[in-house]
Structure 1
Amino acid sequence: MTEPTAHPEPDDDAPAVRPRRKGIYILPNLFTVAALFGGFYGIVMAINGRFEQSAIGIFAAMVLDSLDGRVARLTNTQSAFGEQMDSLADMVSFGAAPAVIVYVWALSGLGKLGWIAAFIYCACAALRLARFNTNIGVVDKRWFQGLPSPAAAALVVGFIWIVDDAGVRGATRIDWLAWGAFALTLYAGLTMVTNVPFYSFKDVNFRKSVPFIVVVAIALGIALITIHPPTVLFALFCVYGLSGYAVYAWRKSKGKPVSVIATSTDEPDEKGLHS
């Protein structure tokens, strides 16, 4: 008979094996940091009185924010760190930055009402992002619950951009501009925390083939924007900012459910929504 193999006794003096540290994926987070820079740049330009550059910074942040998640999915580099980083960058670029920009541009002339409106917008952006993070598993992916924060920011800074492009200066001393900015800031902020459904475009599959006419339509859309970016972009986001209420009213009139909270997350095309 062979002798049983003796198992070596554990060496108490041997160094403990540390778990391998998880790295941070650089590619998607580069887009997120760039979007964060766009928001910061917008604040700095507003302080310096260059509001057109502020608006461009926020719109650039919107484009970059729409790309970081798609890049992460395409390269299979999603991570919990990236999700948290994206939320923090969104809070700066689409929450704090638009509030500061519109306050410096017009709301400071309204005294306390001005900074209260700016704060309401900022607080609603934080609440909207927190609700999005906690409800991400139960909301129908085809719809946003409330106006998404990038679209709310586009409404506020788009208005500033179009007025500044028209050559109007000193908005703090023009009553109708200051009160218009006040109303739009409250509308954008409060709409973020409603339950009104806004189409998310997340069910659009960029990997599927599309008819040739779709490519032509995209090219025409880009050409249309280049004609006069402030007017076209502001008009597009005004339509989008009202579309949720139109969908809500239409569903109500037809007796259809209006909530975007799904009763099941197992079906990707879940239609069992409750009101």
Structure 2
Amino acid sequence: MRWLFSPFDPDPATPRVRRFRPVPVRILIPNLITLLALCIGLTAIRMAIEGRIELAIYAIVVAAALDGIDGRLARALKATSRFGAHLDSLADFVNFGVAPALLLYVWVLGDARSIGWLAALAFALSAALRLARFNAALDGPESPAFAQDYFVGVPAPAGALVVLLPVYLAQLGLPSPPFGAAFAIVFCLAVGLLMVSRIPTYSGKKASQSIAREWVAPLFVGAIIAVGLLVSYPWEVMSLVTIGYLMLIPFAYMRYHRLKAAHDAREAAGSEPEPAPVPEGEQF
């Protein structure tokens, strides 16, 4: 049996072969931000279960802000990866599908019992389907240039913030509409349908790629004012932003189809065969 367990003394001068390649830190940073957003989303679920609705909403808003940062940071650092894209989608499902649904159920949908729970399930499933469609589109053909400034349906972060509009209005002290649970159920289902629909909505990707120099200082001032207003008057600002976003959807729909018609017309004109040259003797 000695040959089975023969002593082996490796040569210290022999270089050790690395089994795994080192991962650059710049690739880890966007994923860490995504994980931080996921932790905040899970904390929002805890706050909702404990009945601390305001803190739960704050957590969802912060998670939405971080969700807007991680993707842009990954592209800026050239750290995009399939792992990061799938991790971001899983975090979005928890933060903007599960957390808002549970928050609404604890707040008012629970009054309708099973019907309210079905509405919460429908919203969470709509978020899952919307994110699955987004991931599938990553492997699809590249969209035209005009379509890159639009989302297909309401994105998950926007849907999560929009579906909480009844909570914002209640925090403002407005009287709840008759049959408050029924109104919340209908509104929750409507937002879920917007998420899985094919309605184009503004994405603002092109607007955020570059900014003219003369607009840099006003942008900083505007951002500071916006943050100050959000901190001082959170429910008023969230209500106005949500209503404004919903009012922009018809304009985005009309603008998208106008651009699509112009694009299709240019493609049709470019695909038509050019007429054969007429010989000089046959010209009129």
* TM-score normalized with structure 1 length: 0.77
CA distance in 2, matches of 1:39, 1:222: 21
- For the pair 1:152 / 2:159, whether they are aligned, the reply is yes
Q: Separation in 2 of the partners of 1:175 and 1:34?
A: 39
CA distance 1:220–1:178, change in 2 (3 Å):
same
CA spacing shift, 1:36–1:127, aligned 2, 3 Å: same
* Residue 202 (structure 1) aligns with: 205
Q: Which structure has more RCO (C-alpha within 8 Å, separation ≥ 6)?
A: 1
Counterpart mapping for 1:17-96 below 5 A: 20-21=20-21, 23=23, 25-96=27-98
**Structure 1 runs of 4+ off > 6 angstroms?**
none
- The 8 Å contact of residues 153 and 201 in structure 2, kept in 1 or not, is answered as yes
Q: Distance in 2 between matches of 1:44 and 1:227?
A: 25
Say how many residue pairs are matched: 244
Q: Which amino acid aligns with 2:84?
A: G
Give structure 1 stretches of 5+ with no counterpart: 1-16, 264-270
Q: Secondary structure at the match of 2:179?
A: helix
Percent identity among equivalent residues? 34
Q: How far off is 1:176 after superposition? A: 3.0
Tell me by how many angstroms 1:133 deviates: 1.1
Asked if the contact 2:126/2:196 (under 8 Å) is kept, the reply is: yes
Residue 202 of structure 2 contacts residue 252 of structure 2 at CA under 8 Å; is this kept in 1? no
Equivalent position of 1:248 in the other structure: 253
CA drift of 1:129 comes to: 0.4
Greater helix percent: which structure?
2
> Which of 170, 178, 181 pairs up with 2:181?
178
User: Residues of 2 paired with 1:249 and 1:201: CA distance?
Assistant: 16
Deviation at 1:223, TM superposition (A): 4.3
CA contact (8 A) 1:143 1:197 kept: yes
The one-letter code sitting in structure 2 at the alignment partner of 1:48 is E
Q: How far does the alpha carbon of each residue in 1:34-87 deviate from its partner, in whole angstroms, 9 at most, with x for none?
A: 111121111111111110011001000000110011111222222221111101
Give the RMSD, CA atoms, in angstroms: 3.1
SS in 1 for 2:201: strand
What are the superposed Cα offsets for residues 224-257 of structure 1, whole Å, 9 maximum, x if unpaired? Answer: 43441112122212221342233325666x6x64
Give the deviation of 1:220 after TM superposition.
4.2
Q: Deviations over 1:117-155 (max 9, x none)?
A: 111111110110011111135443210000011011001
Structure 2 length normalisation: TM-score?
0.75
By how many angstroms is 1:159 displaced? 2.9
CA separation of 1:68 and 1:164: change in aligned 2, threshold 3 A: same
Q: Please state whether the residue corresponding to 1:90 is helix, strand or coil.
A: helix
